[in-house]
Amino acid sequence: MILPKERDPRFVTIRRGGSLTDDDHRLLALWAADCAEHVLHVFESAAPQDPRPRQAIERVRAWTRGEVTMSQSRAAGGHAMAAARDLTGAPRHAAFAAGQAACVAHVAAHELGAAAYAIKAARAAAPADDDAGQRECRWQRDQLPEAVRELVLDDQRLRNGICWSVFDC
């Protein structure tokens, strides 16, 4: 479970009664796509013939450009998460990261799911490297667009406990 029981209105778009602008929603989606893409190679090494996680990342980026609908991006996210079903460890986490990223088009708060699963993938891909997860976390923070930086950092503080405490970097 990576979503809180009660939705944070900062991650609900203005037209749905929250305070998130469409521009910031797109920035969150692009950041989540970057997080997922950063570990995508881990999945593709294990399942090189399965395009679903890469397609999910491409689909959410297309959503930010207005080229596909929210439903198309969300569906691609589901397909990416289905790609994880028969896998374990780092490849599974990387597929989940891609799926979560694509679902940001539907629920902006999935942005943290993409980041958390990417950190889990980095950790699992380098079990002997105690700093792999922290490096991934710091890399992600370096990619944060300034407009949503404080929002995401606060979200990490609030949801770190339900996101496997991966944001302690």
**Residue where the block lists tokens 């993409």:** 114
Answer whether residue 10 is part of any domain.
no
Give residue 158's domain range. Answer: 26-163
Answer whether residue 65 is part of any domain.
yes
Answer whether residue 15 is part of any domain.
no
Q: Per-residue pLDDT for the chain (169 aa), expressed as one digit of tens each?
A: 688 888 999 999 999 999 999 999 999 999 999 999 999 999 999 999 999 999 999 999 999 999 999 999 999 999 999 999 999 999 999 999 999 999 999 999 999 999 999 999 999 999 999 999 999 999 999 999 999 999 999 999 999 999 999 999 9
pLDDT value of position 1: 60
Number of structural domains in the chain: 1
Answer whether residue 18 is part of any domain.
no
Non-local (6+) Cβ contacts of 96 within 8 A are: 80, 81, 84, 113, 117
